Each structure stands twice: as structure tokens, then as C-alpha cells.
Chains A and B, each alone.
Chain A
């Protein structure tokens, strides 16, 4: 079927892709993610089966698309769903074992009055510096006595000991002293090491110092309790946190990640502030894109009709001017508008110009108006562009026929031009609605969801679901990704339903043909 040179090219390409996948698999293997390696291997087999044989010709075209659909669309959705059933967020990032280990490590305090030893790190002569048993060569700052410290304890050494002016042992018979890089390479072993001594364990600090430290926290694995040995307080695991057994005082700082089932969903539905907020936000979230699409479309269409008229001179120049707001970065425009909406006429251009004292960004209603105005400014050039394009594709003979039939200008537009234009721009209006439904940047930059009414800071008057979810997840008090993921699922479902209905409606528009 194909000529031999192309076969070579084909197999070279396949081999290159496979080599890339092997390299990626190697990276994943090094990171220890088994399932990722399996996934990559599966993809590699797909590549080989689809492109190496002639059995699945349609798949040859579909496979890249399918791959990216899964990687960029399906996977994030699955990940979000999975996250929504966890408590993933601040203080709940790691595993329970990690939290136990961390809490104990953090509780190591320097024993008051204990010496700070000058220290060198060594291994017994003959042992490998990367694996040999670590021995700390310690010099007591008070009397200059030198010791070898191992997990078994301290033993005095004198044999062939030489010291630097700071007291650090530089040479000792029977030991190979590690250089800085070698010491650093064993950081992990050093963190785990505590040379038992009176009142605690000798721990290293940096490259040349050691101190006597004592951990105040202990873990009782049998009872599954954390114990603070200084106060005797016991902590039990509850809701992914270590909570005091006696119910008095705070829980320990660091918790762990765990599955919480439907808790995030039930909380979103039952918490009164959130529920009221959710409904309020949802209503505004439905109105905002609708009004935005209609207003931008009407203004854009108006301008498009105006500048489609042959009586207008220098149309190109006018059109370029009208596209300017679209050409400027939206964020700059939003920030400029925010400044213009300042209530104080010293700073706000709008109130200054009109002599008003409207609290644009502080009053819930006016803030909504301010957002709609800004979005009108930002959005109408786009509508102007697509309407101009659609208008120019309306055949001249149809309009001429309408004219001959005696239709007025308005009647021609309403009954002939608009239906034809709407067929073309209908899907774009739906897309515009979906885009504005999640228009995060505008809200975030202009009002950040505010103003906040009713003595709270969770639900703002101009919040969209997306800015609300963002505040819950990252921008707010304590990031709670699990809860935000649950809210995202609600948004996902709502947007999907609206889009579905929207596209059905536009399909009916096409019936005019």
C-alpha cells in the first residue's frame, strides 16, 4: 500500500514516540508511581497497535484527539470528583504516618543548659562513606573532651585525635571523616540519628554543631494516640486531626488527608450561610451572563448594522476604533474601570464627570450595574466583529428581493437579516454565555465578589459560583480543596445543563433554512 521510504519514515516516527514514552515511563518509575507507568505502557501499546498495523484506520485519526481529550478533559474531571470526596486542604495534605513523624520531629527541643558540641561526621575506617554506620565525633566545648557518638551512645576517643581551632575533630584513628558534601548526602540518616545521652539525644545541626535535644511528643501505636510527655496530654485521631482526649484545648497542628465520603456535598447543601449564598449567587450567576450576552449583542449588532451601511464613510477606520476595547488586555480595562468607579470624585472619573455620588463598588445593586457596564465595554467589540462578518455573508439579492416586495428597512432586518445572522452567531452566543458564566477575571479584578452584605465575608453580592469556589479553595481563610471541588461539581452540572439547552435552542434557529 505504501512505498518503502514512507514505511521507514513511519517506523522511525513510531520508534520516536515509543522512545519518548519509555523515557516518560522511566521518570514515573523513578518517582515510584506504578499506575502512571502502567498507563504509559498502555498508551505505548495503543500507539503500536494502531499505527503499526492497518487494522484500525479510523483510530489512526481519532487516537491523538482521544488521547488529549482524556489527558486534558476527562482526567481533570475525574481528579476533581475524587478530590471532592476528601478533606484535602490546609493541614490535611499528607498521610497520617507523615503527620505522626512530623509532629514528633517538630517537638524536639534543645535541653536547657546542655552542651553544644563541635561536631564532625565520620564512618568507621574502611566503611563506605555513603552507607557506613554514621558516627558523630563530638567535642565538649567546656573541657575539650572528645567522644564518638553512635545510636549505642557516647564513647570517649583519644586515639590520634586532632582538632581545628573551633574544636572540631579533623582526624581520629579508626574513623574516616566525611567532607561537607558527603555529610549533606546523608542528611536523611542524620535527621533520624539521635545519640542517646543523659536527658535526651544528641542531634546534628548543620555541618559542625550538635545539640542535646528531647522530643516531647510520642506515638503510642497500640492505642493509636499521640502523647505529649511534658503535659501528659493524650490526643486521639478524629476527623483527620489529633484531638485532645479530654476535650480540653487545641488539636495538634498537623492533620492528614482522608476520605470524607459525601460530607463536602452535604455541607454545601445544609450549611445555612452557604445554602442561602449558593442560591443568591446562582441567581446572579444566571442573570449576569444573560444580560451580558444580550447587551453586548445588541450594542455590537447595532454598530455592525450601522457600519454595514454604505452611506457611512471611512468604515474601516470606524471599525478599527470599535475593536480597540477588545484589543486591549481585559485585565487592564477592568482595573481602569475599577478606578473610574471609585465613589470619591477625586479618584473616580465617572462620579466626577456626572457629579454623582454613587457608591459603585460598595452598593450591592450598583456593583452589579458596574460589572455589567464594564463587561458591555469589554464584550461588545467581539459581538460587533462576528455580526459584521455574518452581515457581510447575507446575500445582497435576498435583501434586494425584500426591498422589491416593499419591506421597510426595519422589517428587512427583523425578518430577513436577523434570522440569517442568528444562524451564524447563535452558537457563539451560547459559547459567550458559557464563558461569562465562568468569567472569573472580571469579577475578581473589579469587585472580588464584593460588596459583602449582612456581616459576613463568605458570600459577596457580585460573586459568581466560580469566584465563590475560588474563595473557598484558595483565596479565603483556610484553603479547602475538597469542599471547593464539591462546589465545582455543582458548577459543572449547571453549566452542562445550560449548554445542552442552549445548543438545542440554537439548533432550532437553524430551522429557518
Chain B
């Protein structure tokens, strides 16, 4: 009896948690690539025990799965598409599209189209869940090369992007009026503000006890390190992990120094970053578009700028791309392909999607129009310039945990950067071999 009651409470609780985490606002778990990957464990983990995947509506001609936030917009265009083709289109909400889609497709009950982040791609291909989208070369040219690169796997296009996202520096203009050029400048200014009692944290960065590879990556990348080496064609090479490379270690040493000086701390997790920044208690947060909406609501006057240099080297973030996929087992493949190639490439759809998620639209034409009137969007886009897409190869799943924990341990001074990153490299390589 005790067990049942407790179990039921836990289940109810977990599902409520998942719902609140995913459906709450425009900037949470499922709606951001960053959060989806950085918190991959969290979202995928809570779901299986709790959320029921949507049940595919059998009576319609095209089924699309997306998250709660994007449903109204997709509904609008699905209706238009349905009217044009004389068919019925259903847009269904899934609280964990990635997992629900994989499981449902595996059981032959999946949707025809899903909306999701580009870094799911490798895993979905590995599990035979998605199929190429035959976007014509003319249509491909309407997107920035990086966005198209993110939608590709083995040189094949698997989705049509509608938004891009990346982290940058969000600063509280009341505390820090000027955009920082260097990380050192942020540290100096921030430390002064802490000393003056105007702030509790000099620089906010999501670390947490288990670490956060997504947010730590720019430190490694600044010195030429990163996760995987690239093949000549730009693809990431899963057989060449560079987490423990001398370049990555240089970045790791910066993390170690910042941890030692108390600038970065494993006591700061994603929730605390928002909490402190929204309380006006920190001048700088190294975060993404998902944090802006909350800061705005909290009445913080903010500005967005690109990541600065550290030790004279330019930091660049991961680029995330949001896109529409077509299921490999789509029952309505013709409609699915038609909708994704003809409708998602429309300017009006991309602009409407921007209005929901406040991310730069992927379609260049739509971006130009939005950037002209929304300074934030322009700033996010600028902050993402030169950024490489987050790896979408399945091997990346073997990286998040070990690299994240390594950065946490380095910041917590549990190990030296060199030792810890080399150990992480060994663990990642072993995981990749094990995964095949």
C-alpha cells in the first residue's frame, strides 16, 4: 500500500515535472536544442516512466508531432495545407518528441512528420526512424550553409530548418552597460560588482554537479579544441575524439582557473543561472535565447552580445538548428514530403515560428525581415556567426555525460584539466566503441 501510494505520487510528480519543464514557456527543455542536449538525460529519463506518447490519429491523412508551444502555429499551416490538398491534417503534442517518436516509429505507430532539434538526427538515422527530405538545390540555397550542414547526415539532407540558436553573453545593462570584448574584462567587472555588494555572481554559467558540456564547449573551442575533429568535407569524425587534445586542455585550464577563483562553480545549475540573473544579481550570463523571455518578465534591462575572447582567443558556441523531419515509416509519405519541402520553406511560416520561440529564423529571407525590427534576433544571429553545428552523429550521445562531468570536476578542482580531459577522452572512446 505504502509502495503504491508513494509510487503513484512519484509518477504523478514526475509527469507534472516533465510537463512543467517542457510546456511552461517558450524557452524550456524541448524547445531549445541546448536544453534538450544538455539536459538530455533529464528529459529522456523522466519520460518513459510517465508521459504517454500521443496516440496516432488513424482517421487523418497527415500526422505531425511537435511540442506544446509550437502547436498553434503548425496547426495554422497544417490547416492551410489540408485545405489546399483536400485532406485532414492532425497536429499532436508530445512532451518528449525525440523518445516518443523513436518508440512509436519502432512499433509502427509513429507520425509522418516531427518537429525537433538537429542533433537528434544521427540517433534517428541509426534507428531507421527518419528518411531523407528531397529539398531541391535551389531551396537549399535559401538557408545559411551552417544550417543546411546541421540538417545533413552522411551528406544527405534529412530535414528542413526553421530556426537556429546558440549561446551568447546576456548582460544586465544596469550593472554592465558595455558589451564585453574579453572574458577577463567580464571577470574584472563582475568581481568588482560582487565586492561592491551589487551582485552575488560575477559571471553566470551553467555547470552543476554533473557538468554541462554544451555550455563548457566554447572554452575548449576557443583554443582549437572541441569534441570531434572534422573530416575534409566538414563532417565530424567519430573516430577522432579531441576532448583530450592539447588544445582542449588549454581551454580546460581556463575552466580550472575560473573555478579556482570562484568565478565558476558546480553549485550553479541552469535554474540558478536564471534565478540570479532575473533577480538582477549578476552582470553577465553566458546563456541562450531561452533565458531572455524570463529576464524580460522579471523586468531586467538586458542586451545580447557575442561570446568574448578568452586569453586572446575567440570563443564560439555550438550552433543548434530546429527542423522538420519526415518519418522513415511515414504512412503518408507523399503528403509529408510535400508539406515539409513546400510549406516549411515558406517565409510566413518561418516568421510565425520566430514569434513563438524568439529564435532567428533559418530561412535567410525570413531572418532578414525579422532582424530588421528585432535587435535581439540580430544579436543572437551575430553571436552564432562562425559557430559549428552541434555534432549530430550518434557518437555525440557518448560525449555529453563524460565531457560534462569532466568540466565539472575541473571547475571543482577535483582533477587537473589535462588528467581529467584525457580520462574523459578515454571514456568517450570506449563508449563509442561499445555503441558500435
| Interface residues, chain A, with chain B CB atoms under 8 Å away | 90-94, 98-99, 102, 105-110, 116, 179-181, 183-184, 186-188, 190-191, 203-209, 211, 213, 239-241, 249-251, 253-255, 329-332, 335, 342-344, 346-348, 361-362, 382, 428, 431-432, 434-435, 440-441, 444, 447-448, 450-452, 455-458, 470-471, 474-478, 480
B130's closest neighbor in chain A, by CB?
Answer: A106
Across the interface, do B334 and A91 meet the contact criterion of CB distance under 8 Å?
no
Q: Which of B69-91 contact A (CB under 8 A)?
A: 85-87
B10's closest neighbor in chain A, by CB?
Answer: A441
Point out the residues of chain A lying under 8 angstroms from B341, CB to CB: 205-206, 209
Q: A180-B85, A180-B335, A474-B48 are in contact. Are A342 and B267 (CB under 8 A)?
A: yes
Across the interface, do B3 and A362 meet the contact criterion of CB distance under 8 Å?
no
Q: How large is the interface on B (under 10, 10 to 19, 20 to 34, 35 or more residues)?
A: 35 or more
Across the interface, do A190 and B333 meet the contact criterion of CB distance under 8 Å?
yes
- Residue B67, interface by CB 8 Å: no
Residue from B45, B333, B420, B424 within 8 A of A470 (CB atoms): B45
Cα A440 to Cα B50 in complex, Å, equals 13
Across the interface, do B87 and A180 meet the contact criterion of CB distance under 8 Å?
yes
- Residue B247, interface by CB 8 Å: no
Point out the residues of chain A lying under 8 angstroms from B401, CB to CB: 457, 476-477
- Residue B296, interface by CB 8 Å: no
List 26 A–B pairs whose Cβ atoms lie within 8 Å, in order of A's numbering: A91-B394, A93-B106, A94-B106, A102-B328, A105-B328, A116-B136, A180-B334, A186-B334, A187-B333, A204-B334, A205-B337, A206-B335, A206-B341, A254-B127, A330-B6, A331-B14, A347-B272, A347-B275, A432-B2, A435-B2, A452-B405, A455-B419, A457-B401, A471-B41, A477-B401, A478-B431
Give the Cβ gap from A491 to chain B, nearest Cβ, in Å.
Answer: 16
Point out the residues of chain A lying under 8 angstroms from B267, CB to CB: 342-344, 347-348
Across the interface, do A475 and B3 meet the contact criterion of CB distance under 8 Å?
no
Across the interface, do B338 and A187 meet the contact criterion of CB distance under 8 Å?
no
CB-defined interface of B402-418 with A at 8 Å, one 1/0 digit per residue? 10111001001001000
- Residue B191, interface by CB 8 Å: no
Q: A105-B131, A254-B128 are in contact. Are A207 and B394 (CB under 8 A)?
A: no
Q: A90-B394, A329-B9, A346-B200 are in contact. Are A106 and B131 (CB under 8 A)?
A: yes
Point out the residues of chain B lying under 8 angstroms from A382, CB to CB: 2
Taking A441-B13, A455-B420 as known contacts, 13 extra A-B pairs with beta carbons closer than 8 A to each other, sorted by chain A number, are A90-B123, A94-B106, A184-B334, A204-B334, A206-B341, A207-B338, A251-B436, A253-B394, A254-B128, A344-B268, A448-B41, A456-B423, A477-B401
Point out the residues of chain A lying under 8 angstroms from B420, CB to CB: 455
Residue from A92, A99, A251, A441 within 8 A of B14 (CB atoms): A441
Cα A164 to Cα B206 in complex, Å, equals 56
Across the interface, do B136 and A253 meet the contact criterion of CB distance under 8 Å?
no
Cα A393 to Cα B293 in complex, Å, equals 58
Q: A93-B106, A330-B10 are in contact. Are A206 and B334 (CB under 8 A)?
A: yes
Give the Cβ gap from A502 to chain B, nearest Cβ, in Å.
Answer: 14
Across the interface, do B134 and A255 meet the contact criterion of CB distance under 8 Å?
no
Across the interface, do B14 and A455 meet the contact criterion of CB distance under 8 Å?
no
Q: A451-B209, A455-B420, A474-B44 are in contact. Are A90 and B125 (CB under 8 A)?
A: no
Cα A331 to Cα B50 in complex, Å, equals 13
Across the interface, do A93 and B128 meet the contact criterion of CB distance under 8 Å?
yes
Residue from B6, B332, B412 within 8 A of A435 (CB atoms): B6
Across the interface, do A106 and B427 meet the contact criterion of CB distance under 8 Å?
no
Give the Cβ gap from B88 to chain A, nearest Cβ, in Å.
Answer: 10
Give the Cβ gap from B421 to chain A, nearest Cβ, in Å.
Answer: 10
Give the Cβ gap from A122 to chain B, nearest Cβ, in Å.
Answer: 14
Give the Cβ gap from A355 to chain B, nearest Cβ, in Å.
Answer: 16
Q: A99-B128, A102-B328 are in contact. Are A181 and B85 (CB under 8 A)?
A: yes
A180's closest neighbor in chain B, by CB?
Answer: B85
Across the interface, do A344 and B265 meet the contact criterion of CB distance under 8 Å?
yes
- Residue B61, interface by CB 8 Å: yes
- Residue B145, interface by CB 8 Å: no
Point out the residues of chain A lying under 8 angstroms from B85, CB to CB: 180-181, 207
Point out the residues of chain A lying under 8 angstroms from B106, CB to CB: 93-94
Cα A450 to Cα B41 in complex, Å, equals 13
Point out the residues of chain B lying under 8 angstroms from A90, CB to CB: 123, 126-127, 394, 397, 435
Point out the residues of chain B lying under 8 angstroms from A330, CB to CB: 6, 9-10, 13
Give the Cβ gap from A118 to chain B, nearest Cβ, in Å.
Answer: 12
Point out the residues of chain B lying under 8 angstroms from A476, CB to CB: 41, 401
- Residue B434, interface by CB 8 Å: yes
Cα A340 to Cα B412 in complex, Å, equals 19
Cα A411 to Cα B131 in complex, Å, equals 75
The 9 A-B pairs with the shortest beta carbon distances in the complex, nearest first, are: A331-B13, A206-B338, A455-B423, A205-B134, A187-B333, A478-B435, A206-B337, A441-B10, A344-B267
